[in-house]
Amino acid sequence: MGIIEKIKEIEAEMARTQKNKATEYHLGQLKAKIAKLRTQLLEPPKGSSGAGEGFEVTKFGHGRVALIGFPSVGKSTLLTLLTGTHSEAASYEFTTLTCIPGIIHYNDTKIQLLDLPGIIEGASEGKGRGRQVIAVSKSSDIVLMVLDASKSEGHRQILTKELEAVGLRLNKRPPQIYFKKKKTGGISFNSTLPLTHVDEKLCYQILHEYKIHNAEVLFREDATVDDLIDVIEGNRKYMKCVYVYNKIDVIGIDDVDKLARQPNSVVISCNLKLNLDRLLARMWEEMGLVRVYTKPQGQQPDFTEPVVLSVDRGGCTVEDFCNHIHRSLVKDVKYVLVWGTSARHYPQHCGLGHVLQDEDVVQIVKKKEKEEGGRGRFKSHSNAPARISDREKKAPLKT
């Protein structure tokens, strides 16, 4: 029996099982089995080199955004409107068969936008090049899920389910669970608050399913069984997602208002070019890019090309800013002067741990090289000989 058949068999057993207090341990074990099988499904087959067929797209720019959605929802048209890159668009499905990159020039930054082929139900199992599409999505900073506003809400749920099946968690934060494997000592289970979804026995059963018999587990929040399995697996990626509802020109204004009020949602029309500016602003807001401008000593700030930082790509501290310019710069920094919203007064003397904000201006002051010797009475190096016998004797006085 293949892995996909095993997953379907376990899912059918979970659907048959009634959910109550008596069956929660059995359901927890089944969830752990499914998670293990799905991880095996994503691994390359044994005996292969590990390199599979995928989309070769080199990372470019200060951020990467992936367009995901069903076929014929307007992804290619949106790419053409935002970047100017031509992506073939037609009235039939699966027009785009490979990954087409484009560059958005926005707020002095370059953002790479990827038009991916449409994915269908069962993409996590490899249908319709689904695995390649999802692999590229994992390498992106945020995901734009393009949906047809005239279709049912079920499309959004199907796409979310397919992405979650391969370890992508949309608009969620990592669970506050501390987990560490040990060599000896058994399983240590603790929590800082009362738990309603998981108890010690259920935690033991899930860990035994993974053949883990020595570990330390600490719950810092009332997490679920799925959260515990995610922490044990350790290969989940938590990403921000913006739901983009296209084709709002074919539905009523009440439906548009209802969609626009949903969390993390933006309504647009590629046909009439409606609300594209709001989409770019929301994308910029979710990416959290920080532009930092440099100021040489005794000169005006350089506002032509900023240094772009982000929390997801390294961090936004002064040390990250220095490392972005050159790795060896941190050792020579004495202090920095900062102008902008992160400074309490202008200019503020800051250290390497100061967190920068968007459109700050930074001037780096380097350490001065030590001069040989000193000056005046504080001279540290004398030119006199070290020993008395080495002194030059004065010439005898003439009599």
Residue 22: per-residue pLDDT? 75
Assess whether pLDDT exceeds 60 at residue 42.
yes
Residue 120: per-residue pLDDT? 64
CB 240 within 8 A of CB 173: no
Residue 357: per-residue pLDDT? 93
pLDDT range class, residue 308, cuts 50, 70, 90? very high
Helix axes 200-209, 24-42, angle to 10 degrees: 30
Residue 177: per-residue pLDDT? 92
Which residue spans within 86-163 are E strands per DSSP?
A: 100-106, 109-115, 142-148
**Structure tokens belonging to residue 277:** 């500016």
Among 91, 142, 94, residue whose Cα is nearest residue 114: 142
More confident residue, 264 or 29: 264
**Structure tokens belonging to residue 355:** 């967190």
At 124-151, the pLDDT tens digits run: 555 655 667 777 778 888 999 999 988 8
Among 210, 225, 215, 224, residue whose Cα is nearest residue 178: 215
127 phi and psi, to 5 degrees? -75, 140
pLDDT range class, residue 33, cuts 50, 70, 90? confident
Lowest-confidence pick of 19-23, 95-99, 333-337: 95-99
Assess whether pLDDT exceeds 90 at residue 355.
yes
Residue 380: per-residue pLDDT? 57
Residue 24: per-residue pLDDT? 81
More confident residue, 297 or 117: 297
At 216-269, the pLDDT tens digits run: 999 999 998 889 988 998 888 899 999 999 989 888 899 999 999 999 999 999
What is the chain's mean pLDDT, rounded? 83
Residue 360: per-residue pLDDT? 93
At 65-79, the pLDDT tens digits run: 988 888 888 888 888
Residue 55: per-residue pLDDT? 62
pLDDT range class, residue 322, cuts 50, 70, 90? very high
Residue 180: per-residue pLDDT? 92
Lowest-confidence pick of 93-102, 245-254, 274-283: 93-102
What is the C-alpha end-to-end distance of the chain, expressed in Å? 119
Helix axes 130-138, 154-165, angle to 10 degrees: 80
Lowest-confidence pick of 112-121, 160-169, 237-246, 386-395: 386-395
SS3 of 160-192: the string is: HHHHHHCCEEECCCCCCEEEEECCCCCEEEEEC
- All domains of the chain in start order, with CATH: 3-43+175-233 (no CATH), 63-172+237-287 (3.40.50.300), 289-389 (3.10.20.30)
The whole model's pTM is what? 0.78
The mean pLDDT value for 146-170 works out to: 84
